[in-house]
């Protein structure tokens, strides 16, 4: 299966268990990997035979920046289901949500959840 991957899209969102996180917001990184057949798009040089990654970026931006979730798992789930609902050419999607600066008094470079969802 072919893949289209959008790496480390950066957004500012209001997600987290703590009230301050949902009030002050923070940076999030999103990676999206979509399984789809790219043969027709490649052979015909035709955007209508693939997924417009600029539109994917805007869809993800809308979710990350306009909605609020307590868990990054819920954020990732919403992104994955929205992509599958919007683009019928996508067979499966892998969404990684990274919170680079969780509000803990320990030092590490962030936390990432990765969800893989297939079309039903």
Tokens of 47: 């955007």
Q: Is 99 labeled as catalytic in the residue annotation?
A: yes
In angstroms, rounded to a whole number, what is the distance separating the alpha carbons of residues 57 and 13? Answer: 14
User: 11 near 65, Cβ under 8 Å?
Assistant: yes
Burial class (CB in 10 A: 0-12, 13-18, 19+), 69: buried
Q: Which of 23, 49, 99, 120 is catalytic?
A: 99
Closest CA to 99 of 89, 108, 110: 110
- Catalytic residues, which ones? 99
């Amino acid at each position: 299966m072919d893949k289209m991957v959008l790496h480390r899209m950066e957004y500012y969102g209001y997600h987290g268990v703590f009230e301050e996180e949902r009030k002050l917001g923070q940076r999030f990184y999103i990676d999206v990997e979509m399984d789809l057949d790219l043969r027709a798009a490649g052979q015909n040089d035709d955007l209508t035979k693939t997924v417009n990654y600029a539109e994917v970026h805007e869809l993800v931006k809308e979710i990350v920046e306009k909605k609020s979730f307590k868990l990054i798992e819920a954020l990732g789930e919403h992104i994955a289901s929205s992509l599958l609902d919007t683009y019928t050419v996508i067979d499966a999607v892998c969404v990684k949500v990274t919170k680079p600066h969780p509000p803990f008094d320990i030092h590490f470079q962030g936390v990432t959840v990765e969800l893989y969802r297939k079309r039903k």
